[in-house]
């Protein structure tokens, strides 16, 4: 497989490679060099979610204010 590099240094990853790696629009990828000098592309590891990610977009139906405050403070 081959791809052409644009003037901006961009390359379209072939669909078969994207499908194999599970890469979708918005995915992040890592490039790393192996011991023998080859370059490998792989999906980037997801960042650990924060305690706030559960609240993104809404406070959650049925959650009391005290529960929300405890969650944002990291209290059990």
Total count of domains within the chain = 2
In sequence order, the β-bridge partners of residue 43 are 29
Q: Assess whether 52 and 18 both reside in one domain.
A: no
**Helix or strand (DSSP H, E) at 24:** none
Domain residue limits at 74:
46-76
Considering the domain architecture, whether residues 41 and 70 belong to the same structural domain is answered as no
φ, ψ dihedrals at 60, nearest 5°: 90, 125
pLDDT of residue 4: 94
pLDDT in tens, 59-69: 556 777 888 78
Q: Quick check: 74 pLDDT over 90?
A: no
Closest-CA residue to 11 (of 3, 21, 2): 3
Same domain, 37 and 56: no
Whether residues 39 and 50 fall in one domain? no
Same domain for 38 and 74: no
Residue 29 and residue 56 in one domain = no
Q: How many CB atoms lie within 10 A of CB 22?
A: 8
For the chain, the distance separating the N- and C-terminal CA atoms, rounded to the nearest angstrom, is 51
């Amino acid at each position: 497989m081959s791809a052409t590099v644009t003037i901006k240094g961009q390359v379209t990853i072939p669909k078969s490679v994207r499908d194999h790696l599970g890469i979708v629009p918005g995915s992040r990828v890592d490039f790393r060099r192996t011991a023998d000098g080859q370059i490998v592309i792989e999906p980037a590891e997801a960042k650990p979610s924060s305690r706030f990610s559960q609240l993104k977009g809404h406070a959650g139906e049925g959650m009391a204010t005290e529960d929300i405050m405890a969650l944002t403070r990291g209290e059990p």
